[in-house]
Amino acid sequence: MNTIVSMLPIVLMLLIIVVGIIIISKVNWRNVAKVGYWMLGAYVIVLLLSVGVFYFVPVTEEEPIQTPESEYDYHLDEVLLGERPVESINEYLVEEWDFEYELDHIQIGYQGDINNTVNIAVERTDGNTIKAAFYQTPVYGFNMELTKFIRPMDIQLSDDRFVVKLPVTKQLKFTSFDKEFPLMQFKDSPNEDWLDVPESLYWGGQLLYLQVPREIEINAEMDVYIEYVNE
């Protein structure tokens, strides 16, 4: 599909050249004075048709969405650094896992797309259950909530290895339009930022919160970053 899209301008250009040559060869050049106006007339008809078609396109005007206050961005970091109780970020909880674990040591490692590593906070607990919880604060961008596009992460326990399966990166292509500057001429702040990328991104944050019994010795593999919350 991508190649077809990238070919389109070339195909269109070729089409126009071919049509142009046909017109030029067919046209009675003695009536050449009229050709300019035929071209203009045909062009105007195409433009008017596109105006008609446009208003049937099922895209309606969107209100710019309200981007949230930015302070929540720090909440996950504060939990990671032990400055905030984990209960306070419950609204960002995405998924929880429980594992029964008998051995006295565990190795934590990643699997999957290493670009999508997460911060891991470890809380030492009593008992013999390892609990994992994944928190994700919302991602906003391009006038859209993007969190829903992020593929879920998963956790697997095989023997003594605690594997964090990082999600595959999802590619998103956004298409937008910019209004040309004459359209904005009579707006309150015209023509000031008409060439900027208009949307700002709210990156969001991720946190994997582990509750691991005290007796279990934790080994982190390379790349794995772990903070111990209550030590």
Partner 1 sequence: MNVIECEGLTKQQWRLKALDELSFTIKENTITGLIGRNGAGKTTLLKILAGLWQETNGTVRVFSERPFNNLLISANAIYVDDQMQFSNRLTLSDILHEAGRFYGNWDAELARRLFNYFSFHPKQVHMHLSKGKKSTFNMIIGLASRCALTMFDEPTTGMDASVRSDFYRALLKDYLAYPRTIIISSHHLEEIEDLLEDVLLLDQGRKYFHLPIDELKEYAVGLTGRTEMVMQCSANQEVIHTRQIRDDLTYSVVKNDNLPLNKARQLGIEVSKVSASELCVFLTKKTKGGIDDVFK
Partner 2 sequence: MSLNRMGLGTVVAKQLQYKIKAYYGVFSSLVLVQVIALLLSVGGSVFSGTTIYGLSLDYTTYMTTNVIAFTILWIFIHAIIMTTKTERENSFSFVSNQLSNNISNCTFLIVASIAGGITAILSGYLLRVIVYFFIDIDLLIGTEFYYPPGEVFQGIVAMICYLILIGSVGYLLGVITQLHRMLPVLLPFVLAGILIALERIFPGSFMAIGEYYFQETNVFPFLFKFIGSAVICFAVAILISSRLEVRK
Q: Which of residues 131-170 bind partner 1 (CB under 8 A)?
A: none
- Candidate list 1, 4, 5, 33; residue touching partner 1; CB under 8 A: 33
Task: At 99, list the tokens.
Answer: 């594992």
Buried b (16+ CB within 10 A) or exposed e, 138-147: bbbbeeeebe
In sequence order, which residues have a C-beta less than 8 Å from that of residue 1 and are 6 or more positions away?
none
Mask: binding to partner 2, 19-38, rule CB under 8 A, as x and -? -------------xxxxxx-
Buried b (16+ CB within 10 A) or exposed e, 27-66: eeeeeeeeeeeeeeeeeeeeeeeeeeeeeeeeeeeeeeee
DSSP 64: P
- Asked whether position 206 contacts partner 2 by CB under 8 A, the answer is yes
Between CA 78 and CA 104, with CA 76 as vertex, the angle to 5 degrees is: 90
- Asked whether position 193 contacts partner 2 by CB under 8 A, the answer is no
- Asked whether position 37 contacts partner 1 by CB under 8 A, the answer is no
- Asked whether position 45 contacts partner 2 by CB under 8 A, the answer is no
Nearest distance, CB of residue 130 and partner 2, angstroms:
23
Nearer Cβ to partner 2 (167/213): 167
Stretch binding partner 1 (CB under 8 A), from 25-33, 68-76, 153-161, 204-212? 25-33
Stretch binding partner 1 (CB under 8 A), from 27-35, 66-74, 103-111, 135-143? 27-35
- Asked whether position 70 contacts partner 2 by CB under 8 A, the answer is no
- Asked whether position 169 contacts partner 2 by CB under 8 A, the answer is yes
Dist. CA 142–CA 146, nearest whole Å: 9
- End-to-end Cα spacing for the chain: 54
- Asked whether position 32 contacts partner 1 by CB under 8 A, the answer is yes
Dist. CA 75–CA 207, nearest whole Å: 10
- Asked whether position 3 contacts partner 2 by CB under 8 A, the answer is no
Chain residues in the site for partner 1 (CB under 8 A): 30, 32-33
